[in-house]
Amino acid sequence: MREEDGKHDLSWWKSEIITKWANNSWRFKMENSLESAIFNSEKDKPFITCLKQKERLSALHPDMSDSMINMKILRKCRGELQDYVKCRCVEPFPKEDYINAMEYIITRTRIGKTWIRNLMESKLIPNISSKENKPVLKCHKCGRTSHLSNICMKKTQINDVQINEEVQGSEEKDESDQVSAVSEDTPVEYYSIEKITAFFEVTEVHNHLLQYSEDCYNLINIQDAIMCKTKSARGKGYTAGAPCITSILMNDFEAKVNLDTVAFFTFMGNDYLQIILPEWKNHLLQLEGFHFGSSSNNMYPLGILDTNLVFPHLAGSVRMKTEIVVMDNCASQHISLGNYYLNIYGIDINNHKGINFTI
């Protein structure tokens, strides 16, 4: 400005400075900085903070006295620090006195400082010895540590007749004599053709075979099933079921799937497949030597379609590699998903709030 305007007297420079800086935006900025500048004894230094506040107040209020300026600066301390500084100083609170008093109080005491809780001290150190001395829980039926007796698959022996110890000892002695005699006189080839008979529990399930009942099974310890929902009125039990139709994605097409836990395989009709995949005949695998049937009529297979079924879900969708048997005379407009997803993938499909099936 001096190079452009040349030399002028002090009054001219004063008016120019007021014109440039003493406007509404400048005053608004200075007032906001004055109100937001609260003294923090842990971050700010008393000397620098008090001088900045004094310059701001002098610029905004040039006619304000020094004692009033010092009082406004002390109000920015707040809390106990403001009271302690007023007690150590005498009015009209000279600038040097209250600055020295603030520095002395901050350095010698913890007045004006915030207490921070040490979270590491409050955390309990885990007792390692207690884990080592913890007793091992075992099943009372079979003696294993992998499960407890409430979920044990071993039969519970009720009214078991105790055998006399003397008779039992004599039987064991006879058996040991027989084993020793067989081991001495029997040739080695006898053990290679020895028949091993395995006795399975009633609850053991073969997923790939049909179940047949035998008279030798003794059903004991029969318990009533626990209901998760309120039972319907007598004669209305058929109304307690839930729908088993859900939506999936197949070949980027939204299709309907029947979650059929009774069906052994997955199948669909060729008419419904024509809507989803018009070129399905080019992707079929041959199927020979198998006969299929339903409760209503015979089913004529055309081939096997190897595709992916995507089950959408908010928490994360699931894609399953599925082989679908295409039927010629199937009139259903949905895919019947067999129960192999429980055997192969181990996915349990539950009904969520009685609306849609979710994985």
Tens digit of each residue's pLDDT (9 = 90 or more) over 299-323: 788 888 888 888 887 777 888 888 8
**Residue 204 and residue 207: Cα distance in Å, rounded?**
10
Question: Residue 129 phi/psi, 5° resolution?
Answer: -65, -30
- Report residue 54 as tokens: 């004094």
**Residue 314 and residue 262: Cα distance in Å, rounded?**
28
Number of Cβ within a 10 Å radius of residue 201 = 10
111 Cβ contact partners less than 8 Å away, ≥ 6 residues apart: 41, 80, 81, 84, 105
Q: In this predicted structure, what is the pLDDT of residue 120?
A: 60
Q: Is the pLDDT of residue 66 over 80?
A: yes
Between 14 and 349, where is the model more confident? 14
- Report residue 47 as tokens: 């000397």
- Report residue 108 as tokens: 């010698």
Q: Is the pLDDT of residue 49 over 80?
A: yes
Q: Which domains does the chain have, with CATH numbers?
A: 2-108 (no CATH), 242-358 (2.40.70.10)
Q: In this predicted structure, what is the pLDDT of residue 151?
A: 78
Q: For residue 134, which amino acid is it?
A: K
Residue 179 pLDDT class (50, 70, 90 cuts)? very low
**Residue 331 and residue 294: Cα distance in Å, rounded?**
12
Q: In this predicted structure, what is the pLDDT of residue 126?
A: 57
Q: In this predicted structure, what is the pLDDT of residue 53?
A: 85
Q: Is the pLDDT of residue 201 over 80?
A: no
Q: What sign for the dihedral angle of Cα 169, 171, 172, 176? A: positive
Q: For residue 22, which amino acid is it?
A: A
The model's pLDDT over 248-287, given as tens digits with 9 standing for 90+, comes to 888 888 888 887 777 778 888 888 888 888 888 888 888 7
**Average pLDDT, stretch 67-93?**
78
- Could you give the C-alpha distances from 306 to 69, 267, 282, 325, 341, in angstroms and in order? 86, 11, 11, 9, 15
Between 50 and 184, where is the model more confident? 50
pTM given for the model: 0.36
Q: In this predicted structure, what is the pLDDT of residue 139?
A: 84
Q: In this predicted structure, what is the pLDDT of residue 357?
A: 47
DSSP 272: H
Q: In this predicted structure, what is the pLDDT of residue 333?
A: 85
Report percent pLDDT > 90 for the chain: 0
**Residue 115 and residue 212: Cα distance in Å, rounded?**
75
Q: Which of 123-127, 158-162, 182-186, 248-252 has the highest mean pLDDT?
A: 248-252
Between 192 and 82, where is the model more confident? 82
Minimal CA–CA distance to 266: which of 332, 318, 313?
Answer: 332
**Residue 94 and residue 90: Cα distance in Å, rounded?**
8
- Could you give the C-alpha distances from 104 to 46, 97, 107, 161, in angstroms and in order? 10, 11, 5, 92
**Residue 19 and residue 267: Cα distance in Å, rounded?**
88
H-run or E-run covering 84: helix 79-88
Q: For residue 348, which amino acid is it?
A: D
Q: Is the pLDDT of residue 204 over 50?
A: no
